[in-house]
Structures are given as structure tokens and as C-alpha cells.
Structure 1
Amino acid sequence: MSYLVLARKYRPQTFNEIVMQGHITRTLTNAIVSNRVAHAILFSGPRGTGKTTVARILAKAMNCKEGPIPVPCNVCRSCMEITTGNAVDVFEIDGASNNSVDQVRELRENVKYMPAHSLYKIYVIDEVHMLSLAAFNALLKTLEEPPSHVMFIFATTELRKIPVTILSRCQHHDFRRIDVESISKHLETICSKENVDIAVESLRLIAHEADGSMRDALSLLDQVMTCSDGALSHDQVLELLGVLDRKIIFDLSAAIFSKDTSGLLDMVEEIYASGHDMKKL
């Protein structure tokens, strides 16, 4: 069996497992409980913050055999199919490669038909901002008055590119960047499960480099874990990620404040010689 990257292996399967997006998971949970889930939902926010993952969990919650239910069972046919990505009633569409008006018209024709075995036919359109203006216009009427068995979930990293006419027809949820502390704790939990010994200092460095993206953090952790079979030192992690030690930054600052021009130039030369990007200083 091929190796399963950490981002896929530890993808959350319930709302409770989502990191740092409680304002969204709470709203969706309450909407499911009170039977007030919108027929068109738009998720926006930075990359790697959980938009597609939450869309899949919402699809499972709506189509679960026990549902609609806030916590999907993850064992029924519908939940299992969505988890493995081959659900016949949940369509994950890449907006970048399915952005023509003809493809949207075909989608519009297909929504008329009832789901095969689930409660809802759910369309998850990722990178929806990549649709052409004509494609958006073709979708307007269906978004405004969709059949009762159809749900649309859109995800985008470029909210400003979504036409106002689409925004007004969707319930909008804004995902936030995940803070360093939350990412670091999540990485620590995964390292514990994987029996990998990495210092907390190194995990914080990875979290900082991820720039608020959990997926990027897990990709970097994957890279670091592949580097060594045993325990990894912080210096090894710094070298692997191509990141400057914070001590060097402090030494540079000290040299500037003390007007130590010679020492400052020596440090800059050493940093440049080691191949680091000077713009990141």
C-alpha cells in the first residue's frame, strides 16, 4: 500500500476534531440540530484552514443514515463513501478545471434527479472563484430556487472574486488562520500517535513556518519525519526547513544596537554563504 501523508491520514472526521474554527462548527452544528441548514453555503479563508474538510463533514452529517445529525456515525454506507471519496450522491468538483458555462449547465440539468440512496444530493465546488462569469450567471437561478433534495457547498481562497449576486444567495462562513499554539499542539498529538520524538521547540518552528495553514504544517512535519529514523535535533530541523535560528536574529539585532559594524557584516556574510534567503531576515 502506498504511503498516506499525514494531512490525509489525520483528516478530521467530525466537527469536534476541527482545529480553531469553533465559530463555524458551532453554527453548523446548531443549524443541523434546529433543521435550519442553508441550501447554499460558502466557505472562504486562507489555504489549509479546513474548508474542504468541513464541507465533507457537513455532507456526512446531512446524509448519514442516522441523520441529519451533528455527529456523523462514520460507519454507515453514506459516511464511508464520503470518507473514501466515492460517494454517488456527493459530488466534489474542482472549479479550476470545471469552469465553463456548459459544465455548469450540465450540473443544472443533473440537480433535477433525486439522490441514489441518500437524503441529499450535495455539490461541493472547491476553488469556486475560478468559475467564469458566464458559469456563475448560469448557476444563479438554481442557487436561488434549488430542488429540496439539493445542497451546494462552495469553497474559495479568493472571496473578492465571487460575484455579489452569488454571495447574496449563500450563507457565508469565514475561516481564520490557525494560530501557532493550536498548530503546535496538534502536531504534538500526531507525533505522539506516530511515536516520533521531536522537540516542542521544533514543532513551534514548523507551526510558525506554516503561516496559519494546518495542511502546510502537516506537510512540513511529514518532511521532517522522513529525514530521520530516530530523534531529530532542533538544528537538524532548522537545516532541513532552511530556516534561520532565532538566536542569529537576536545576534544581528544586538550588533545593530551596539553599532558593531564589523560583527554585523561577518554575520550577514555567514548567513549569505550558508544559502539562506536574505529577504527573510
Structure 2
Amino acid sequence: MSQSQVLARKWRPKNFSELTGQDHVVRALTNALQQNRLHHAYLFTGTRGIGKTTVARILAKALNCETGITASPCGTCTACSQIDQGHFIDLIELDAASNTQVDHMRDLLENALYAPTEARFKIYIIDEVHMLSKSAFNAMLKTLEEPPAHVKFVLATTDPQKIPVTVLSRCLQFNLKQIPIALITEHLKNILAQENIPTDDTALTNIAKAAQGSMRDALSILDQAIAFGEGKVAEDTVRSMLGTIDQYYLHDLLEALALQNGARMLAIADEIDAQGLSFDSVLHDFSALLHHIALAQTVPQAIHKEIPAYPQILSFAKTFAAEDIQLLYQIALHGRRDLSLAPDEYAGFTMTLIRMLAFMPDNQTTSSAKQIITAAPEISDVENTFNPPAQTGKSAASFSQSDSYQTAPTAPKTPVVAPDLNWHDLVKQLKLVGMAKMLAQHSEAKLLTAKNVELFVPELHRHLLDKKYQNAIQNALDAHFGRPVALNFSVGSITGMTPVALQQLENEQKQAEAIAAIEKDPIVQDLVDSFDAKIIESSIKPIQN
């Protein structure tokens, strides 16, 4: 990589074909140049770093190229070369932010009356034109009303609302858009490939997000990342440099929320706090993740498959109801807004998580689990050996670690469980995290020994059967038993008594016992009898062992 030029200058587009993300502007200007339908004043608007001045310089070359007025300037003639180098005598660039005075503008406009020295047109590029004083605008207006044929004005601004309507009405206006993350990422990847600098897609996506639609900012951040990473651009160094939240934190938060595991959510908040990350940024990124999930639920084609979290987004889109995602999104937005009002950011963030937990509906397995436990005399019978009747007219999909899944007729399912093992307790010992833990908790064991494990996953949670999550369970089982374990997954159900269902039943039983204990308490009974008091059952929580 060249040491004399920063990337933003070295890779600045030199013709319309090299511009990224501004196709609508390129098409309009190309058509105008090809048809020789030229205007005397152009106005380019848009946020910083998206190419306003770059388009102006390319337009200057297109108008003055020695091959003639063209949408494809040669780039090699004297005019093109000198414009690229910033030495073209008939191209006058002015930064209005530092030259607001009317006297300077009058001098510049008086000079416009004279014919160009060498070029076809004398071109004035005025950046941040909205910064000009009212008197300077009035001076410019006189020239715009009756412009000399040899003069072209190219104005650029980030705030067109501050430009007088009289000036706006005399300009051909183009609004440049913020550049999408995917286009910035692809452009950075192409640059690094030509610079022979190693990188990974996630690192570039993080840079593109931080740039907020500005290609110039993206290239500046990329320059910093190359220096920070000692010649390579990797996810961990970019994340450390930007101080951004690891997406896995956000995924873990959603997984814990799906399992209604408040303790895990607070533990993740503690990890984020220990990393010194901004809770405002966390809620910002969390809102963005929820937005992607909502899109996946309603307009799946709007989600780019290239984004790093694409599989997780699809999985969450199936795990959560659409109305729940909408509610969580609103809670995240309000939580971010209220951070400054909280006792401290940690309290504000954790209160937002608690609010999300409080508004989540009961676990979907609750009703079916209740029906099963009513028919089953003992939970221990369910956990160890049982012989449910065969299901007819249904099929189960079988998954193994070496093969893709296949569909076969469902045979009567007779679980075989080693006497000293049950899946519910084993899952707690495997130290699984994230989606792999969720897959394990939503599975039931048909075969459970130290050598062979066969698991059934309900149709509702088929989407959890990602190879990565299966591999995580495989590795955890191998480590737990100290030997390779044959692991197989099938889609179907034996009784519905997954670890999640069993935990829900256990929680409900504890809750019922806590309510009964309160109702039987003599002091409580006296208050009810004497003051017609009422027990608010939702406020009763069992003591956690």
C-alpha cells in the first residue's frame, strides 16, 4: 500500500463508472452529457462523505476533456490529469465555510466574466454553499440569473434548506444518497484485495456500519484499522478499535429472553458492563437486530444473505412472534431514550431488559406440558422409561452429524435411558450457551447412554437444527463422557417433556406452593378476614434455592 496517500484519496473515483451507490445521479448526468443538454448550475446535496465533491470533479472533467464533452472522460489528457491533481487553472474550488464574505464572492464572480484560459468551460465548485452570507448569495444570484456561456457552477451542500429559494430555483438539483452497508462492505473488500491486505467480512461490515453511509468515513476508518491491526483487518481488532458491541451479546440476550431466563440476561449485562461498552450503543444495535428480525418475518427478501448474522436472524424470526418483536423494539427505543433519566446507565439498561422480560408471553410449551403432566403420575417416570402409543400418519425427519436429514415413517418410540442419566439434568451439566443450549433444552431423549444419544426436536423448533448448534452439543457430550458419542437428531415428539417444559412445570409447581403457603399464613388470613384484603398472586415469587 502506498505510504504517501490515505485510502480516501488514493481510491477516490475518477469517472462515473467508479462511483458507488449513486446510480440515479450518474444516470441523469450521463444522459445529459450524451445529449449535450447542459445546465449552467448544478446543486449536489447529501450528508458528508458520500461523493458530492467527487461527482463535481468528474463532471468538470466530462465538460472539459480534450476528447470533447463526454460522459466518459479519458483521464489522460492535460485537462483530465490536471483536474485529478488539483492544478487545473480553469477549475476554481471554494470552501464556503471559510469564505463567507460578500467581497470574496464579488471578486470571484467578476473573474467569471473573463473567458477560460485553456479549457472549454470555467467551472466553479463551491462546497458547503449554505454557509455563504445573505449578501454573498445575493451577489451570486445576479450571475446565476444571466450566466456567461463559458461558466458552469457546481454547488455542494449538506444543508440545502439554508440556501435561498431564489438560488435553488436556478440550479439543477441532485440528492446523493447515503451508501448502503452492503455496497460499502463490497467496495472495501475490493480495495483490500488490490492492496493485498488480509481481512474478513465481519470486520468490514462493522466498519461500514460505523461509517453511517459515508464512503469517505469508511475509508478513513479502514486506514485506522490497518494501522491498528498492524497490516491486517480482523474482526476482533476492528471491534476493539471501534468499541462496538459483539453481536453475540445481542444474540445471547434474545436467546435468554426466549427462555425467559432473567438471571442469564442480567449476567450478560454484567459482561457488557465489564467490557466498558456503551449501553446506549448496545440498545442501538439491539434495536437494529430487532428491525432485521421484523423484516425477516414480514419481507424476508429485504434481508441480505451476506450479512454475518443472517442464519441467527432467520432463527429468531421463527422463535419469536411478530407482535413480540414489535413490542421489544418499542421497549428498546424507549429504554435508550430514558437512559439519561435513570440513576445510572447500568440501571437504565437492566430495567429495559426486565421490562422486556415482564412483557414476554408465557412459554409456548406451557399448555402442552400441563396436559402431559396431568396424564403422567410421576415426573420421574417421564424422565426415565415410558412407552407412549405410536403416532400414525406422521413422519419424523432424522438428522445425524454426518448426513443431511431424511424423512421416514414414525415408528413407536420407546425411549432407552441409562439408569443414571436423564436428559434434563445432563443438559445443565453440559455448559452449553446460546442457540446450542436452546436446541438442547427443546429436545427430548429417545436414546440416552454414554455411547449413543438420540434426540427428538418438536416441529415447532425445527429451525434450531443448525449444523453449528448440533456440533456444539456433540463436542459438549464428547467432553462430558470423555469419549466420542454417536449423536442423532430427529424431528418429532415423544411426550413433549423437553427440559424447557420440565423446567416450566417445576417453576409452576413452586409458584403454586408459594401461593398456597401465603394463603395459609395466619397473618395473611387475618388480614383477609379483618380488612377484606386481597392477595395479588402475580406479586408472589417463590424463594430461589
Aligned residues of 1:39 and 1:151 also touching (Cα < 8 A): yes
Following superposition, the deviation at residue 241 of structure 1 comes to 1.6
Following superposition, the deviation at residue 259 of structure 1 comes to 4.0
Distance 1:12 1:236 in 2: 28
Secondary structure of 1:46's aligned partner: coil
Distance 2:184 2:233 in 1: 19
Amino acid in structure 1 at the alignment position of 2:88: A
Say whether 1:66 aligns with 2:67: yes
Say whether 1:57 aligns with 2:58: yes
Name the counterpart of 1:248: 249
Amino acid in structure 2 at the alignment position of 1:169: R
Percent identity reads: 48
Aligned residues of 2:100 and 2:133 also touching (Cα < 8 A): yes
Distance 1:135 1:13 in 2: 31
Following superposition, the deviation at residue 257 of structure 1 comes to 4.5
Secondary structure of 1:196's aligned partner: coil
Shifted more, 46-55 versus 271-280: the winner is: 271-280
Following superposition, the deviation at residue 16 of structure 1 comes to 0.6
Distance 1:8 1:15 in 2: 16
Secondary structure of 2:174's aligned partner: strand
Q: 1:230 to 1:106 in 2, by over 3 A?
A: closer
Distance 2:26 2:220 in 1: 24
Q: Which has the larger radius of gyration?
A: 2
Secondary structure of 1:43's aligned partner: strand
Amino acid in structure 1 at the alignment position of 2:141: L
Name the counterpart of 2:285: none
Secondary structure of 2:27's aligned partner: helix
Aligned residues: 281
Following superposition, the deviation at residue 27 of structure 1 comes to 1.0
Following superposition, the deviation at residue 217 of structure 1 comes to 0.9
Name the counterpart of 1:228: 229
Following superposition, the deviation at residue 239 of structure 1 comes to 0.9
Distance 1:270 1:251 in 2: 11
Aligned residues of 1:42 and 1:173 also touching (Cα < 8 A): yes
Amino acid in structure 1 at the alignment position of 2:17: N
Mapping of residues 1-281 of structure 1, within 5 Å: 3-229=4-230, 231-281=232-282
Structure 1 unaligned regions, length at least 5: none
Following superposition, the deviation at residue 210 of structure 1 comes to 1.1
Aligned residues of 2:229 and 2:237 also touching (Cα < 8 A): no
Distance 2:206 2:213 in 1: 12
Distance 1:223 1:81 in 2: 29
| C-alpha RMSD over aligned residues | 1.5
Following superposition, the deviation at residue 253 of structure 1 comes to 2.9
Aligned residues of 1:115 and 1:149 also touching (Cα < 8 A): yes
Distance 1:2 1:200 in 2: 24
Secondary structure of 1:203's aligned partner: helix
Secondary structure of 1:92's aligned partner: strand
Following superposition, the deviation at residue 261 of structure 1 comes to 3.3
Distance 2:4 2:227 in 1: 12
Amino acid in structure 2 at the alignment position of 1:126: D
Distance 1:271 1:80 in 2: 52
Following superposition, the deviation at residue 231 of structure 1 comes to 4.4
Following superposition, the deviation at residue 77 of structure 1 comes to 1.3
Higher relative contact order (Cα pairs below 8 Å, separated by 6+ residues): 1
Distance 1:37 1:229 in 2: 48
Secondary structure of 2:94's aligned partner: strand
Secondary structure of 1:80's aligned partner: helix
Structure 2 unaligned regions, length at least 5: 283-545
Following superposition, the deviation at residue 233 of structure 1 comes to 3.4
Shifted more, 64-73 versus 166-175: the winner is: 64-73
Amino acid in structure 2 at the alignment position of 1:60: K
Q: Deviations over 1:18-68 (max 9, x none)?
A: 001111111111111111111100000111111100000000111111121
Following superposition, the deviation at residue 230 of structure 1 comes to 5.2
Secondary structure of 2:173's aligned partner: strand
Aligned residues of 1:28 and 1:37 also touching (Cα < 8 A): no
Amino acid in structure 1 at the alignment position of 2:32: A
Distance 1:163 1:258 in 2: 57
Distance 2:12 2:267 in 1: 46
